[in-house]
Amino acid sequence: MPPRFIVGNWKMHKSISEAESLVNGILKHYQPHPSVELAVAPSFVSLQAVSRLIASTPIGLAAQNVNAHDEGAFTGEISPLMLQEVGCHHVIVGHSERRHIFGETDSLINEKLHAVLRHGMLPILCVGEHLNERQANQTHKVIHTQLQKGLEGLSSYDLLRVAIAYEPVWAIGTGHAATVEQAAEVHAGIRTFLAMQWKIDAERIRILYGGSVSGDNAGTLFHSPQINGALVGKACLNSESFVKIIELAKTS
Ligand code: PEP
């Protein structure tokens, strides 16, 4: 089994000094272990400070977003070259907040994903259904479309460099996580879909669950072999609750 991958998405939280304190708090309590890979995704302005602090640790640096172009007249945007230079290994693409607040389409997400890979970084592609789509039994259909369009044009080699984060929109930031059965069922569906479309051994794809993961539910979620890690929002903003999730990823 590949190491469980735990990613903390700090969203638009933490000043630079708060970001440094959070990393120092994680480093104080976190005991690296081969069964867990860890990454943090601070805001753009904190990337450099965090990069310096984690440079000699096994913690990876992730960005929350990227522009698909290398450079140009794109005011307010950050290019993959800039992320690479600051030390990012991973980039989150297609987060539900990017899709629904900022109107990102599957085709834009696909361009970003290609840009990330082109610059030697690893994308974390987020997919997930709305509550009304789940209630209408559309979950698999919605996610297959997001995968098909978001991953379009990828070779099977590149696909194996992508981590998928299943994040049901109704579970993000609501305190109502999916049950382990709900998440495992969708993860299995994602694997079957990718195996059929790309003819790969989909057991090799890392599929993370995200949506109200906490120290209270992570252990149960990690019991499923379908769940290869977690994308954590709120609970990663405090070093104790984040380290608790990391510890559960080791031992569960
Ligand atoms: C997220 O934003 O990716 C997320 C999962 O947030 P939360 O853990 O707060 O639901």
State the catalytic residue, choosing from 37, 90, 95, 133. 95
95 is catalytic: yes
167 is catalytic: yes
Ligand 1 geometric centre to CA of 214 (Å): 10
- Given a cut of 70, the residues of the chain with pLDDT beneath it are 251-252
Q: What is the pLDDT of residue 35?
A: 94
For 95, how many CA atoms within 13 A lie in the half-sphere containing its CB?
23
DSSP 162: P
Ligand 1 geometric centre to CA of 199 (Å): 31
Torsion of CA 61, 65, 71, 75, to 10 degrees: -130
Could you identify the atom of ligand 1 that is nearest to the CA of residue 172? Answer: 10
Q: What is the pLDDT of residue 2?
A: 80
State the catalytic residue, choosing from 37, 129, 133, 167. 167
Does the reported pTM lie above 0.85?
Answer: yes
Render pLDDT for 166-185 as a digit per residue (tens, 0 to 9).
Answer: 999 999 999 999 999 999 99
Could you identify the atom of ligand 1 that is nearest to the CA of residue 177? Answer: 10
